Amino acid sequence: MNPWLQPLPVLPVLLPMMTAAAMLLTRDGQRPVRMALAAVSLALQGVVALLLLAATLEWLPTGWPDGIGVYMLGSWPAPFGIVLVVDRLSALMLGLTALLGTCTWIYATARWDSVGTHFHPLFQLILMGLNGAFLSGDLFNLFVFFEILLTASYGLMLHGSGKQRVSAALHYIGVNLIASFLLLIAIALIYGLTGTLNLADLSLRAQTLYGADRQLFDSAAAILGVAFLIKAAAWPLNFWLPSTYAQACAPVGALFAIMTKVGIYALLRIGSLLLPAGAPAAFGGAWMFPAGIATLAFGTLGMLASIDARRITAYAVITSSGTLFAALGMPGATLTGPALYYLLSSVAALAALFLLLELIERSQPFGADVLAITQEAFETEEADAASLSEQVVGEPLPATLSFLGLSFFTCALIIVGLPPLSGFVAKFSLLSAALRTAEYGAPTLNVWLLVAAMLVSGVACLMALGRSGVRLFWVPEALQIPRLRIREITPILILLSACALLTVRAGPTLDYLDGTAHYLNEPGRYVEAVLGQNSPRLGTTPGPGPAHARGTQP
Amino acid sequence: MEWILALAIGALTGSGVWLLLRPRTFQFIMGLTLLTYAVNLFIFAMGRLRLDAPPVIDPHWADPERYADPLPQALVLTAIVIGFATTALFLVVLLAARGMSDTDHVDGEERRP
């Protein structure tokens, strides 16, 4: 056991928090200082995410049981103190956050960070919220980290201002505030019934409830599920999403691609821990599957009905959420591994598409796209581009256009799920896993419904993206050759190479994710790691066993 | 006492939800505020209602029966702070939207008659 590795799980929260605090000591005008701080913080977060990934695979001498790292804040043992837990799923999501954060940040430094104030501190805070939500070992801190990431996201959503953006942000903030209240009500109810908020402890306590308490607990879990479904954009709770994502400035929209996945992470995590207790309501297949199919249908129709390419991408985010709900709503753990693979691939591709669309818009003859609702933002960009023209890297060659076209094509391939890239591997493994569950006695109707919904939505997505590609690139008027900077191209290339890497290393990745799925199917391992933890620094005996009645309600 | 608290939470929630469904941003934020009160009281009530029971445990007299549950009180403090901050932020956005669109309708435009 290496004592230096023990505080590793707290670093993904601490690093961005300290960076944001340090940034606030500098004036907004001192952009180089803030950028240097952000670069260091992001690099360190990437390293920490990789180390945690290695630790959960037990490649590092951490001495963590089963590769599950438990960090006790204030050294209080598990059900009493606050714990941060890092396991395979958390480490995976942390890695994805670090990758996405780095890419969108590099893109933002090209121009967007100077459009408004305090972009860099808000960016660090949203990363802190995301990392914290993935690490949190109890419900209340999950809520707190959700609030941190949402509050930072409100600021980023408004970044760049403009009437359309403020109007979309108003809806976004309103809906999310209501969702937060639902979350609080559910958390309070669960605490009132079980006397604990620690997820591991809750998993044990929930099994001992019966009668009226059980019904009340089920309703609390349903409210909790509804709150997470709002965040994860399940139909009919997702009408806030399209305009929010389409109106946010490009790097923010790209970062938001992971925001809905936080809701899915929370559903997956809590669903997995409540599974032996008979996962109630929204966490089980009975609700999640139909919600997924409905979301998939809604996203598909939305994609077909949209004209603006950004709105199409926003609906693609909904479709991706719907696919994940439907896949996770299938019985057993067979689909969880491929679903996680799909999550990785779709987040990277959607983020790349959000970034790309802004670059493509620059190639459009000004005013040609009268239906584009982002005209206001577009106008300011043009002015910026002119003033920064001396910093432009490379001559405006048609090479930039072919780069844009090829990247758009690649993104579309991944999102639609056509071979040869990761989108195809993801959808193929999802479908084959779905067909395999039929052998284990899953309802055949559901299997075929899922297969049909995914294929139809794939075709619709192909039509929508193909149509917008034709409209964007094959226009009769001469396209302006846009000036792109290295900092704008690099993140798109990184995200697309990540997808390519996922394709090439599909075997090992799917093995890892299947391992994660099996691990999630055995919540006992998580509970054991969290509650069986005694504090090495205090040298205390292991905490009281879960069977003991502790802190009973009067 | 349970009845009074339950009625208070119910009345606050009901009025809050009613106001949330109104089309004006000011009514919306009032609804949010009322809902915050309701939620905070609800969290507090989940620690069970106890009279004359301190939440801080005296080490010489550590019988849990004699104390109120301190955890919901800590939770409610956090919830109050977060609710206050987010409502304040919403207020700023509300004013910005009002200034930009010259209307206090939540959609940023008046419905045509």
- Top-confidence residue, B55 or A244: A244
- Cβ of A174 and B71 within 8 Å? no
In DSSP notation, A350-390 reads HHHHHHHHHHHHHHSPTTT-TT-TTHHHHHHHHHHHHHTGG
- Cβ of A170 and B106 within 8 Å? yes
> In the structure, how many helices (H) and strands (E) does chain B have?
3, 0
| Residue A533: band (very low, low, confident or very high) from pLDDT cuts 50, 70, 90 | low
Query: ipTM, 2 decimals?
Result: 0.92
User: For position B92, which CATH number holds?
Assistant: 1.10.287
- Cβ of A151 and B20 within 8 Å? no
* Selection from A327, A296, A399, A386 nearest residue A111 by Cα: A386
Tens-place pLDDT, residues A239-265: 888 888 888 888 898 999 898 899 999
> Is residue A88 situated within a structural domain?
no
Angle, helices A309-328 vs A422-439, to 10°: value is: 30
Tens-place pLDDT, residues A405-432: 888 989 999 998 888 888 899 999 988 8
Q: Helix, strand, or coil here: A481? A: coil
Across residues A323-351, what is the average pLDDT?
88
Q: Which amino acid is at A73?
A: L
| Residue A549: band (very low, low, confident or very high) from pLDDT cuts 50, 70, 90 | very low
Give the integer Cα–Cα distance in Å for A193 and A216: 8
- Top-confidence residue, A367 or A292: A292
What are residue B24's DSSP bridge partners? B105
Query: Which of B90, B94, B95, B107 would best serve as a mutation to test chain A binding (most A beta carbons within 10 A)?
Result: B90
* Inter-residue contact A176 to A150 (CB < 8 Å): yes
Structure tokens that stand for B17 in this block: 């939800």
| Residue A277: band (very low, low, confident or very high) from pLDDT cuts 50, 70, 90 | low
- Cβ of A174 and B100 within 8 Å? no
B28 at A interface, C-beta within 8 A: yes
H/E element holding B35? Answer: helix B25-45
At residue A366, the pLDDT reads 56
CB atoms within 10 A of CB A144: 21
| Residue B71: band (very low, low, confident or very high) from pLDDT cuts 50, 70, 90 | confident
- Cβ of B32 and A177 within 8 Å? yes
Question: What dihedral do alpha carbons A449, A454, A459, A463 form, nearest 10°?
Answer: 120
Handedness of CA A52, A57, A59, A65 (dihedral sign): positive
Mean pLDDT score of chain A, rounded to an integer?
82
* Selection from A315, A319, A337 nearest residue A328 by Cα: A337
> Is residue B93 situated within a structural domain?
yes
* Selection from A387, A348, A337, A379 nearest residue A362 by Cα: A379
At residue A479, the pLDDT reads 67
CB environment A310-337: b (16+ within 10 A), e (fewer): bbbbbbbbbbbbbbbbbbbbbeebbbbb
At residue A282, the pLDDT reads 56
* Selection from A147, A264, A91, A283 nearest residue A202 by Cα: A283
| Residue B113: band (very low, low, confident or very high) from pLDDT cuts 50, 70, 90 | low
A31 at B interface, C-beta within 8 A: no
Give the integer Cα–Cα distance in Å for A298 and A239: 10
Give the integer Cα–Cα distance in Å for A356 and A350: 10
Whether the upstream peptide bond of residue A420 has omega within 30° of 0, thus cis, is yes
Facing residue for A185 by CB, picked from B28, B42, B65: B42
Across residues B49-72, what is the average pLDDT?
78
Query: Which of A125, A173, A176 would best serve as a mutation to test chain B binding (most B beta carbons within 10 A)?
Result: A173
> Is residue B35 situated within a structural domain?
yes
* Selection from A59, A122, A131 nearest residue A95 by Cα: A131
Structure tokens that stand for A308 in this block: 């603006």
For residue A154, the chain B residue with the least C-alpha distance is B89
Across residues A213-229, what is the average pLDDT?
88
In DSSP notation, A42-109 reads HHHHHHHHHHHHHHHTT-S----GGG-EEEEETT--TTTSEEEEE-HHHHHHHHHHHHHHHHHHHHHH
Given a cut of 60, whether residue A492 has pLDDT beyond it is yes
- Cβ of B101 and A167 within 8 Å? yes
Query: Which of A76, A143, A166, A224 would best serve as a mutation to test chain B binding (most B beta carbons within 10 A)?
Result: A166
CB environment A247-283: b (16+ within 10 A), e (fewer): bbbbbbbbbbbbbbbbbbbbbbbbbbbbbebebbbbb
Given a cut of 60, whether residue A501 has pLDDT beyond it is yes
Across residues A494-510, what is the average pLDDT?
90
At residue A387, the pLDDT reads 46
- Cβ of B108 and A163 within 8 Å? yes
* Inter-residue contact A478 to A365 (CB < 8 Å): yes
Across residues A438-462, what is the average pLDDT?
84
The dihedrals phi and psi of A136, each to the nearest 5 degrees, come to -60, 135
- Cβ of B96 and A180 within 8 Å? no
- Cβ of B72 and A191 within 8 Å? yes
Across residues A104-126, what is the average pLDDT?
87
Facing residue for B65 by CB, picked from A161, A173, A554: A554
Q: Helix, strand, or coil here: B105? A: strand
Give the integer Cα–Cα distance in Å for A351 and B12: 41
B77 to chain A, closest Cα gap in Å: 12
Residue that is written with structure tokens 């109707």 in the block: A445
Residues 58..87 of B with a Cβ closer than 8 Å to A: which? 64-65, 69, 71-72, 75, 78-79, 82, 85-87
Tens-place pLDDT, residues A8-42: 889 999 999 999 999 989 887 788 888 899 999 99
Given a cut of 80, whether residue A283 has pLDDT beyond it is no
Quote the DSSP letter at residue A120: H
Structure tokens that stand for A482 in this block: 């846009």
Q: Helix, strand, or coil here: A522? A: coil
Give the integer Cα–Cα distance in Å for B18 and A223: 19
At residue B104, the pLDDT reads 83
Q: Helix, strand, or coil here: B24? A: strand
Question: Contacts of residue A192 in chain B, CB cutoff 8 Å?
Answer: 45-48, 72
- CB-neighbour burial class of residue A551 (10 A; exposed 0-12, middle 13-18, buried 19+): exposed
Give the integer Cα–Cα distance in Å for A298 and A313: 14
At residue A280, the pLDDT reads 61
> Is residue A407 situated within a structural domain?
yes
Across residues A116-129, what is the average pLDDT?
90
- Number of domains making up chain A: 1
At residue A545, the pLDDT reads 37
Q: Helix, strand, or coil here: A455? A: helix
- Top-confidence residue, A269 or A279: A269
Question: What dihedral do alpha carbons A517, A522, A524, A525 form, nearest 10°?
Answer: -40
Q: Helix, strand, or coil here: A540? A: coil
At residue B60, the pLDDT reads 77
- Cβ of A191 and B32 within 8 Å? no
> Is residue A86 situated within a structural domain?
no
At residue A381, the pLDDT reads 46
Total beta-carbon pairs less than 8 A apart between chain A and chain B: 89
Angle, helices A211-231 vs A259-274, to 10°: value is: 160
Residues 111..150 of A with a Cβ closer than 8 Å to B: which? 140, 144, 147, 150
Given a cut of 70, whether residue A389 has pLDDT beyond it is no
In DSSP notation, A318-362 reads HHHHHHHHHHHTSSSSTTHHHHHHHHHHHHHHHHHHHHHHHHHHH
Report CA B87 to chain centroid distance, whole Å: 10
> Is residue B46 situated within a structural domain?
yes
Maximum distance among all alpha carbons in chain B?
Answer: 72
Given a cut of 90, whether residue A145 has pLDDT beyond it is yes
Give the integer Cα–Cα distance in Å for A224 and A231: 11
> Is residue A466 situated within a structural domain?
yes
- Number of domains making up chain B: 1
- CB-neighbour burial class of residue A547 (10 A; exposed 0-12, middle 13-18, buried 19+): exposed
Tens-place pLDDT, residues A158-217: 888 788 888 888 889 999 999 999 999 999 999 988 888 888 888 888 888 888 888 888
| Residue B8: band (very low, low, confident or very high) from pLDDT cuts 50, 70, 90 | very high
For residue A80, the chain B residue with the least C-alpha distance is B71
Domain limits at A494?
284-364+395-514
Label residue B108 left, alpha or beta by phi (over 0 means left) and psi (-120 to 50 means alpha).
Answer: left
* Selection from B107, B90, B108 nearest residue B99 by Cα: B108
Domain limits at B35?
2-51+66-101
B29 to chain A, closest Cα gap in Å: 9
| Residue A90: band (very low, low, confident or very high) from pLDDT cuts 50, 70, 90 | very high
Facing residue for B90 by CB, picked from A173, A188, A191: A173
Give the integer Cα–Cα distance in Å for B24 and A4: 55
